Structure 1
Amino acid sequence: MRSWRKSEVGSLARMYAWLVVRLRWFVVLGWVAGGIAAAVWLPASVPNADLGGFAPPNSRAIATETASAKAFGFPVLSRTMLVQHDEHGLSQAAQQRVLDRAVAVAKHQAGDVGPMVAAVPIINTQRVFPSSSEQGTTALTYIFTKPGTTFGAEVEAAKGFGRRQMNQADDHLVGVTGTVPAQLAQSSILYGHLLLLEGATLVVVIGIVALKFRSFVAPLVALVTAAASYFLAVRVTNYAGRFVQGGAPEELKPLVLALVLGIVTDYAIFYLSSMRTGLQEGMDRLTAAKASAAHTGRIVLVAGIAVAAGSAAMLVARSGFFRAFGPVLSLSVLCAVVVSLTLLPALMAIFGRMLFWPSRPRRPWSLPLARAAARVLTVRVVALVLGGACVVGLATLAIDADRLKLGVSFVASLPADSAPHAAAQAATSGFAPGIVAPTEVLLQGNGVGSDQQKLTRLASELQHQPGVAGVLSPAALPPEVVSGALVTKSGDAARFLVVLDHDPLGPTAIGDLDRLSHRMPALLQQAGLTGARYGVAGDTAIASELVAATNADLRRIAIAVLLVNLVLLMVFLRAVVAPVLLLGCSVLALAASLGCLTLVFQDRLGHEGVAFYVPFAASVLLLSLGSDYNIYGVGHVWTRANHTTLRKAIAERIPETSGAITAAGVTLAASFGMLALIPLRQFRELAFVMGLGVLIDALVVRSILVPALLTLLGDFSAWPRKLKGAAVAEAAEQDERADQPSS
């Protein structure tokens, strides 16, 4: 970096560096004012969306549910229920009170029930649910509320009803469960652990920076920058979330935290490493800060754009969930980049050598060893062996990635000691797992509900389908509870409740429902209901559409992300072969991470599958973050290759950059790993795949595989561009020989 290595940076980079260092105090004061303005004018929180809010456009499941409510005058599906369970059997008096309470609510004789409009009971008796492994042990009361009732008000109404109405000793009330209480429980757990997550993440990433630079001041500078970036990102994305259809997913909050704190710390490591190198070469603090800003700023800018553009590529998806995911993550990254490009170099210029107190900026003792290892790696035979070993190893791990299954579980993701999980387990014991979120089958047509024999035959056919634990037919509910609950008075519509025998939002139940939906025309024909129109509704049906839309979006998202990252790499490196090679390495590392996710969570831990968005969010982020490290590591090699041979450039620059990339990778992996502190299954899946993926990328791909492949390809990796380094080196050697006196 002597004399800035001015030939290696452009005039715009030098101008940016001069401005940000010259105006350093104004930059700091400007960000203080900007933080205050963001706190005053930008929202601290934003409403969140439910599962239905992210259903695909023109969802047939939601349309069926709406048609059912219109035909019958009220819905039959409820997402909130009260569970009573006694493994020794509920008393006859307790069972009778279940029915009496429902009748009292229907006749408005139950007192103050808040927004409740109906309470529909089901008891696992032989007549109602013959396939149950228990008889008379469990009673469920499905709660229906007025339109427009919030999730919180609905659950509180159910809890209040349970406290007031199910308080006798033999009622054996377990609690409230369902997909709505489960979502609220997840939100409560998430927000309850968010402060712990923030604190732990900051401690870990700042601790890594302190160890990396053996300093107390450097981590404080990184901390200030990371905290400012996260604060701004939260406020900006909350504001933007108001304009996202369906709202911002709650799952984004911890992910934004991990992403922003991780990449800002990465950028801080890049800047500080460059600053330390300048000070080691004898520069004063302002010159070193300018040199660091000039060399690192352009890399951070392009790298940040790569991550932001990769996240924004989710906009090509049709699923509302990913269309909400992409812009929020992209805006978060852009906020982090803007703060890093301005506040970081300004603080470095202010603190100077104090950044590395109490240590002195000196070359790491391991640098000669790293250079020796890099020289060995640039030997073609060694590169061939090590590169081949990396490819074979990663490909072996990637084999299991295609076995990954997707689900949308709510209750199953909760800790075992949470109230909705315990109540769901009790309901499952008395009925089947699918009772927590039954599936509705709606039939419509002239006189379709008039022939009880045909309806009974269809119920029997449904009962015998794979994955079906039980069917509540039109004759199942006592008529005095809800008149016309399953057959309209005109007989033009009928509906069944189908209970599946697996977690209703898990991949197994989704697959069973898909097969049932495909068989429905044949089942209707066998029952003699050939003229009936049918539809399937419920959370399993919505989850099926969401997973199907996610799988359909995979190709669009993958193509968009790969193209975005490929174009950025081509523009930055001004080459075609190397970007394709680098992106291929990133894809291989990603596939290996997803294969490990399958092996650990599905094979080792026995989970049915993973949360539907985990592999796709991980894919977008890991590919984009891989470009981050590509731009930093290969960018330095490429710049040096204009002044010497590519082999020497690799041997010189890989040792300089690998230390920063390793520290950055460990920091980013730790940042994502902290997501495991949230005791929800989807966050532990994210923590695992993101942490492992970043480590594979930083420690294996960028440190070994990429240098090995560049060595094997040589100058062809720069095609169609020609590197000038070989010619420069040859000319220098000729000049040196010409200057030597003849013997």
Structure 2
Amino acid sequence: MSSDHYLPNGETAPQYDYPEIEGIASKHLGSFYITGDGAILYDTQRLTSQSGFAFGLIFVVLAIAVGVTLYSYRASILAVLLVSVTTLIGYLGIVMAGLLIGPVDYVVNYTLTAVLIEITTDYLVFILSRFKGELEAGKQGEEAALETASRVGKTVLISGLTVGFSLFTFSLIPGFLSWGVVLVISVLLTVTFMVTFVPSMTSWLGKKVLGNVKVRDNNPTEKSFFYKASKYSVDHKYLVIGVILILAVPSVLFFINLPTTYNVQSGLPGSLPSVQGLNYLEDKFGSNFIFPIFVITNNTGQLKDISNYLLTVKGITGGSGPFLQEDSVVNNNISDFKIGNYYYYVLYSNYSPYSTNAIDLVKQLRGNSDLIVGGLTSSIIDQQGVNSVYYSLLEVILAVVTGLIIGVSFRSIKYALISVSGVIISISWSAVLLYFISTTFLHQQLIYLIPIILFVMLMSLGSDYSTFIISTVEEESYKGSREAIPKAFSKTGKTVTALGVILAASLGVLALIPVGFLEQLGIAFILAIGIDTFVIRNFYFPAMIAILKRAKGQ
């Protein structure tokens, strides 16, 4: 059975056998290490399961943020209750995905929980904020509830479809099929619940949840930060866009060429027994001994010449094979290295298998038409080739899907352009900062999966805020107001900012789990969502809307 074969319980065979092997070793050996992919997977899963406490912090932040946003402790309680319900409903997605496609990657649980918390809170706060606005405008409970349902139902549905089908594109990433299937099923189940139950609940519980809501003047608060920021961006739209683009262009170019590593074990705590064992082997024998280069050839007439050639390749320190013993060409029993019609070599280098030097070395060997090259580094080269096509295609498809849903829903390609471009800028800026933090403070290379996961998650979840803002701008524009944009942002700014904080906390909690991949992912989410919430939504959006859209009546 291959080491990457998954059992019905979702574990690999070596991972499943680890506890039994550990028990045998403990019984018969005084001191030992157990390492390898299975042992590392087992230790990592055990470590992440022990970090579940971190998710309790999400509910604390959620309750505080909702309470502050709506000025109601009852809203905080309701948010926690609804999140608990939708999380249970959403977890049916795992069961359904398991029935459809088989084993589900356990790591998706963390992302799924964060996504469900985010969209549930988003839609609840948006609906209650809108209901509160109708009450403040002087409408009675039943009338306010009906007006809210008629206006926000479409917005929430558009947002839910965008999020769900955008996250489904995870399935296009090799190894992430279960992520896409689980997330789209869970999101659609949650959205269905939110667009049916919450508006109905608002009609008979809304006023009790919000407390005593006073009728207020419908004019925007000109002292509001969100009004001032959007007004400044509209009045100085070309300056704002110019500054943002000057910073965005080099950041986007850096994101496209972001240096990453394929060593997914980078950043694992040294306290894990399996990591200690791997480090011990590397210290004593070198990583090149653990991950050698394998070469096969069927050019039987040139074996000695091939052995001579291999020793001349820069970086090769030796190996074994026909006419090859360590770092010398010798006469040996070449039949010992024959399998079928092929002869094989096992080569060692003085480079880490993940390094640029090792990749260049193996590429040079692969350029020889007489050789077929395998091993970890060769696999990385193949994966890089596939990912360079897959990931680029995925990013284009995701941007197009998101843009189409928003563009068709609001009948304006301009809104699609603003939304998609804004998210791309947020992602590129956060990638620059993340690379600096990861290499300077964490002393880790950036894992290759981080940029694509960040892109998918932000492009998907960012549509929530875009939808909320655009729908409000459209409403104000229909009134013919000359200040439609500042008025719209004064209405949505506080809500969108609070939701951004909740989302950053929900996904950023991954940074508290002491696994390099999850640490980097959590920090990436905090940076990207923070930039998107406080810069892109408050300055870039109003400036772009002012440039690309002329409000009706102006």
Question: Do structure 1's residue 592 and structure 2's residue 429 form an aligned pair?
Answer: yes
Aligned to 2:329: none
Query: C-alpha displacement at 1:454, in angstroms?
Result: 6.1
**Distance of 1:448 and 1:52 partners within structure 2:** 36
Q: State the Cα distance separating 1:687 from its structure 2 match.
A: 1.0
Answer yes or no: is 1:606 the counterpart of 2:443. Answer: yes
User: RMSD across aligned C-alpha pairs, in angstroms?
Assistant: 3.4
What secondary structure sits across from 1:177 in the alignment?
Answer: coil
Q: Which amino acid aligns with 1:178?
A: G
| Within-5 A mapping of 1:251-650 | 251-315=107-171, 317=172, 319-357=173-211, 360=213, 367-370=221-224, 373=228, 376-377=231-232, 380=235, 382-395=236-249, 397-398=251-252, 400-436=254-290, 438-445=291-298, 457=308, 460-461=311-312, 465-466=314-315, 471=319, 487-488=337-338, 492-496=342-346, 498=348, 501-502=351-352, 504=353, 506=354, 508=355, 512-513=358-359, 515-520=361-366, 522=368, 530=370, 534-537=372-375, 539-610=376-447, 612-645=448-481, 647-650=482-485
- Superposed displacement of residue 446, structure 1: 7.3
Matches for 1:657-696 after TM superposition, within 5 Å: 657-696=492-531
CA displacement 1:253-311 (0-9 Å, x = unmatched): 11111111112111121112112112223333333333222222211110111111212
> SS of the counterpart of 2:337?
coil
Alpha-carbon displacement from aligned partner over 1:337-361 (angstroms, at most 9, x marks no partner): 122212322333332222134x756
Q: Return closer, same or farther for 1:661/1:472 CA change in 2, 3 Å cut-off.
A: farther
CA distance in 2, matches of 1:594, 1:671: 19
Task: Name the counterpart of 1:705.
Answer: 540
- Specify whether residues 384 and 459 from structure 1 end up closer, same or farther in structure 2 by C-alpha distance, changes over 3 A only: closer
Task: Give SS of 1:202's match.
Answer: helix
Q: Distance in 1 between matches of 2:419 and 2:366?
A: 48
Out of 39, 45, 48, which is 1:190 matched to? 48
CA distance in 2, matches of 1:485, 1:291: 84
In structure 2, do the counterparts of structure 1 residues 270 and 484 end up closer, same or farther at CA, with 3 Å as the change threshold?
A: farther
Is the CA contact 1:411–1:420 (under 8 Å) kept in the aligned structure 2? no
Aligned to 2:34: 176
Q: 1:367 to 1:159 in 2, by over 3 A?
A: same
Flag the 1:659–1:362 CA change in 2: closer, same or farther, 3 A. Answer: farther
Superposed displacement of residue 211, structure 1:
2.1
* Deviation sequence 1:124-164 (CA, Å, 0-9, x none): xxxxxxxxxxxxxxxxxxxxxxxx98223443454345435
Question: What is the deviation of 1:550?
Answer: 1.9
Note the alpha carbon deviations across 1:45-69, whole angstroms, 9 max, x for none: xxxxx98469xxxxxxxxxxxxxxx
Q: Does 2:491 match 1:656?
A: yes
Q: Distance in 1 between matches of 2:422 and 2:194?
A: 27
What amino acid does structure 2 have at the position aligned with 1:355?
V
In 1: Cα distance, 2:168 partner to 2:230 partner: 39
1 CA distance for matches of 2:12 and 2:133? 61
- Alpha-carbon distance between aligned partners in 1 of 2:213 and 2:414, rounded to the nearest angstrom: 41
C-alpha distance after superposition, 1:624-651 (max 9, x if no partner):
2232212110221112212214x42112
1:705 to partner: Cα distance: 1.1
Q: Aligned in 2, Cα 1:443/1:383: closer, same or farther, shift over 3 Å?
A: closer
- Mapping of residues 113-192 of structure 1, within 5 Å: 150-156=13-19, 158-160=21-23, 162-167=25-30, 173-192=31-50
Give secondary structure in 2 for the equivalent of 1:367.
coil
Q: What SS class does the counterpart of residue 50 from structure 2 fall into?
A: helix
Amino acid paired to 2:179: F
Q: Partners of 1:333 and 1:549 in 2: how far apart?
A: 29
Query: Is 2:45 the counterpart of 1:207?
Result: no
Distance 2:166 2:420 in 1: 13
Task: Look up the match of 1:45.
Answer: none
Secondary structure of the residue that 1:405 maps to in structure 2? coil
Q: Do the aligned residues in 2 keep the contact of 1:447 with 1:490 (CA within 8 Å)? A: no
- For 2:545, what is the secondary structure of its paired residue? helix
Closer/same/farther in 2, CA of residues 153 and 686 from structure 1, 3 Å limit = closer
> Residue 402 and residue 564 in structure 1: after superposition, are their counterparts in 2 closer, same or farther (change >3 A)?
closer
| Letter paired with 2:296 | L
| Alignment CA distance shift 1:151-1:346 (3 Å) | farther
- 3-state SS in 2 of match to 1:596: helix
Give 3-state SS (helix, strand or coil) of 2:457's partner.
Answer: helix
> 2:330 aligns to what?
none
**Aligned partners of 2:12, 2:228: CA distance in 1, in Å?**
65
Aligned equivalents of 2:539 and 2:473: distance in 1? 14
The residue type paired with residue 332 of structure 1 is S
Structure 2 contact 480–552 (Cα < 8 Å) conserved: yes
Q: CA deviation at 1:667?
A: 0.9
Once the two structures are TM-superposed, the CA of residue 419 in structure 1 deviates from its matched residue by: 0.9
1:524-545, Cα deviation, whole Å (9 max, x unpaired): 8xxxxx5xx52413x4444443
Instruction: Check 1:242–1:517 CA distance in 2 against 1; reply closer, same or farther (3 A cut).
Output: farther
Cα–Cα, structure 1 residues 581 and 278, in superposed 2: closer, same or farther, change >3 Å? closer
Change (3 A) 1:633 1:51: farther
CA separation of 1:51 and 1:280: change in aligned 2, threshold 3 A: farther
Per-residue deviation, residues 170-223 of structure 1 (Å, max 9, x unmatched):
xxx451112221122111122222x31332222222221122223221012212
Query: In 2, Cα distance between the equivalents of 1:296 and 1:684?
Result: 36
| Distance across 2 between alignment mates of 1:379 and 1:149 | 56
- Pick closer, same or farther for the CA change 1:430–1:687 going to 2, 3 Å: same
Shift of 1:587: 1.8
Whether the 8 Å contact between 2:254 and 2:432 is mirrored in structure 1 is yes
Closer/same/farther in 2, CA of residues 469 and 340 from structure 1, 3 Å limit: farther
SS at match of 1:292: helix
* Distance in 2 separating the partners of 1:405 and 1:179: 24
Distance 1:206 1:445, change over 3 A: same
Q: CA deviation at 1:367?
A: 3.5
Work out which of the two has the higher radius of gyration on C-alpha atoms and give 1 or 2.
1
Aligned counterparts of 1:486 and 1:232: Cα–Cα separation in 2: 59
CA distance in 2 between counterparts of 1:149 and 1:566 reads 39
Aligned partners of 2:234 and 2:542 also within 8 Å? no
Taking structure 1 as the reference length, the TM-score comes to: 0.66
**TM-score using structure 2 length:** 0.86
Q: CA deviation at 1:512?
A: 1.9
Quick one: structure 1 residues 536 and 277, their matched pair in 2 at CA, closer, same or farther if it must change by over 3 Å?
same
Moved more, 628-637 or 402-411: 402-411
The answer to whether the 8 A contact 1:398-1:596 is kept is no
Unaligned runs of 5+ in 1: 1-49, 55-147, 168-172, 477-482, 525-529, 716-722, 727-743
Pick closer, same or farther for the CA change 1:286–1:197 going to 2, 3 Å. Answer: farther
